Amino acid sequence: MNEQLHEMQQNMAYEELQRWLNDGIFTWTWWFMLGVFVIPWCILIRLIDRKRALSIWFFGLMVLILSSFLDDLGAEIGIWTYPVKLVPYSLIAFPFDFSIIPVAQMLIYQYFTTWKSFSLALVLQAAIFAFIGEPFSVWAGAVSYFGWTYCYSFVFYIVTGAFTRAFVNYWSRKQCL
């Protein structure tokens, strides 16, 4: 059984590499995803408040963990697929989960310090990502949805940001005591 599983994994890895080399790398979608990965980090590096950097990075790491775990889970159960990967052997939605989502929410966390202002900014970010960014990503061929709606994504962004802020604030207070 283990040997069969190993052989299947090797075959899938080979097929994934071939698919990436033939249909992924240097396509328009690949360049789009490279930009989605690189540009947010360039913006964050210029804008991050270095005095609060530790809590901002902690916040971003938690968003990254949540979004990548749930994104991978959704792909595993067939709710969505990512036809083109930035690199052949990576997490499913590497540019989105490791860049644009956490960076956007890190900047919201940095600039909107009260729950009220944070929540309003989070709702705006969720609306932009869910109803503009995701339809564009579908159009660009970066993602395909099967039974998932943009409304679900809208709620996901809000819940992820709010939960993460509560979590980080809780642990930050514990540290100060």
Q: What percent of the chain has pLDDT over 70?
A: 97
Tens digits of per-residue pLDDT, 28-67? 999 999 999 999 999 999 999 999 999 999 999 999 999 9
> Is a pLDDT exceeding 70 seen at residue 177?
no
Going by their DSSP bridges, the two strands 144-145 and 80-81 should be labelled as antiparallel
| pLDDT averaged over every residue in the chain | 92
| Cα atoms found within 13 Å of the Cα of residue 172, Cβ hemisphere only | 14
The average pLDDT across 102-112 equals 98
Q: What's this model's pTM, rounded to 2 decimal places?
A: 0.89
Provide the 10 A C-beta neighbour count for residue 118: 18
CA–CA dist 164, 59 (Å, integer): 6
Angle between helix 101-111 and helix 115-128 axes, rounded to 10 deg:
150
Higher pLDDT, 16 or 129: 129
Residue 79, both tokens = 């709710």
Is the CB of residue 84 less than 8 Å from the CB of residue 27?
yes
The average pLDDT across 132-152 equals 95
CA–CA dist 96, 15 (Å, integer): 23
Give the DSSP per-residue string, 83-112: SS-SSSSS-TTHHIIIIIHHHHHHHHHHH-
Place of tokens 């705006």: 124
